[in-house]
Amino acid sequence: MLAMDFRGPRRVRAVQKPMPEILHPEDAIVKVLRTCICGSDLHLYNGNVPDTRVGMTFGHEFIGEIVEIGAEVTEVKVGDRVMVPFNIACGRCICCKQGMYGNCYESNSESTAGGGFLGYSHTGGGHNGGQAEYARVPYANFGPTVIPVGMDLDDAVLLTDITPTGYQAAEMAGIQPGDTVVVFGAGPVGIMAARCCWLFGAGRVIILDQYDYRLEFAKNFAKCEAYNFRTDMDDPVMFLKKITDWIGPDACIDAVGAEAEGNVMQTITGRKLLLQGGSATALHWAINAVRKGGVISIVGVYGPTDNLIPIGNVLNKGLTIRANQASVKRHLPRMIDHVMNGILKPSLLITHRIPLEEVAEGYHIFSAKLDNCIKTVLIPPTANR
């Protein structure tokens, strides 16, 4: 089968690989119909996540048709079209019972932090992902969710990560009616987070980024204020305080993570020398800008090592920090309802549809912010067969 192959930082190719096999009675094999390149994939692509091994297939956002199931799979059947959450969750461990599917103990038993993730380095369990014609899906009795009749496949694929992650970012921000919320990062997750803030009753939503085309997209999609931290201000923290009566926003969402720009020291130590788990610039701005007693919500991905952050300000300001990988399965019923009722239209984020054979070009376009790219979907050659 054709699959994306990681050959080292900023080097990916589409190559022929062996078909995935059933390795456990609860496995399923899925023929991929749509798969995405995510901003989190760029952390792997750029070499910022430890133990991203040569030969791995990325891709944690995909939908497909089940073509084979293990002997103990009873909840889905061959022929079902399913959304595959990026979290690999057993559904029965202590974290899964609390709805914390991104922290499943069974799917990544050697990790003391996150659970298992499809296509996300060996720190996420070493599972190959869905940027391929076929993919193995563990715990098929729990994870895969049948796509409702009538749902656009482009909407469905964005329910496997981007939409629930943006929704959970807003949920974790603890938004009260009328609150002012600032989102750092106008990538797909940040834009969706800004859109979802309104669902929780925000009175004002602001988004910061350095690319004007993304800010313009965010203004139209999320109906929020949008500012370029390179050209619209000298100091993002002072700017945000100034436009919030010198108090600060009620909540800040870090939707950037390890790839944040805007601070030379953070960029050198976190992105170039890899002395910390990514550049924490956006998190610095969030902590320093939010009001006393405010909330910081973190969904931007950082590497599993130390980061330089102003923890003293967290203490002295009495901040609440909430952070996690989105628990996709927990949010899916509500996300499906919102899409089917027209409240959310995730597929509007898609700007590029690229054949899987051209995955290298797809990564280049997305990584280099070319051609006004917001979100890229890869189409495997077997998707229409």
Indicate yes or no: pTM above 0.75: yes
In the block, which residue shows the tokens 């899987």? 356
Alpha carbons 185 and 40: distance in angstroms, whole number: 13
Residues 314 and 181 in one domain: yes
Alpha carbons 153 and 296: distance in angstroms, whole number: 33
385: pLDDT strictly greater than 70:
no
Whichever domain contains 48, its CATH number is 3.90.180.10
Residues 17 and 28 in one domain: yes
Alpha carbons 185 and 166: distance in angstroms, whole number: 12
The gap between the terminal CA atoms of the chain, to the nearest Å, is 14
pLDDT tens per residue, range 222-247: 999 999 999 999 999 999 999 999 99
Contact yes or no for 68/22 (Cβ under 8 A): yes
The answer to the question of residue 335 being in a domain is no
Whichever domain contains 169, its CATH number is 3.40.50.720
pLDDT tens per residue, range 190-206: 999 999 999 999 999 99
Residues 245 and 315 in one domain: yes
- The predicted pLDDT at position 12 comes to 96
The answer to the question of residue 340 being in a domain is no
- The predicted pLDDT at position 367 comes to 93
The answer to the question of residue 300 being in a domain is yes
- The predicted pLDDT at position 177 comes to 98
The domain in which residue 266 lies consists of 162-323
Rounded percentage of the chain residues whose pLDDT exceeds 70: 99
Short-list 168, 210, 220, CA closest to 193: 168
**Identity at 353, one-letter amino acid code:** R
| The total number of structural domains that make up the chain | 2
Q: Going by C-beta distance under 8 Å and a sequence separation of 6 or more, which residues neighbour residue 165?
A: 189, 192, 193, 299, 325, 326, 328
Contact yes or no for 225/207 (Cβ under 8 A): yes
Residues 187 and 147 in one domain: no
The answer to the question of residue 362 being in a domain is yes
The answer to the question of residue 236 being in a domain is yes
Between CA 332 and CA 257, with CA 286 as vertex, the angle to 5 degrees is 55
Residues 285 and 354 in one domain: no
pLDDT tens per residue, range 31-49: 999 999 998 898 889 887 8
Residues 144 and 169 in one domain: no
Contact yes or no for 166/36 (Cβ under 8 A): no
Alpha carbons 64 and 79: distance in angstroms, whole number: 10
Residues 265 and 305 in one domain: yes
Residues 73 and 142 in one domain: yes
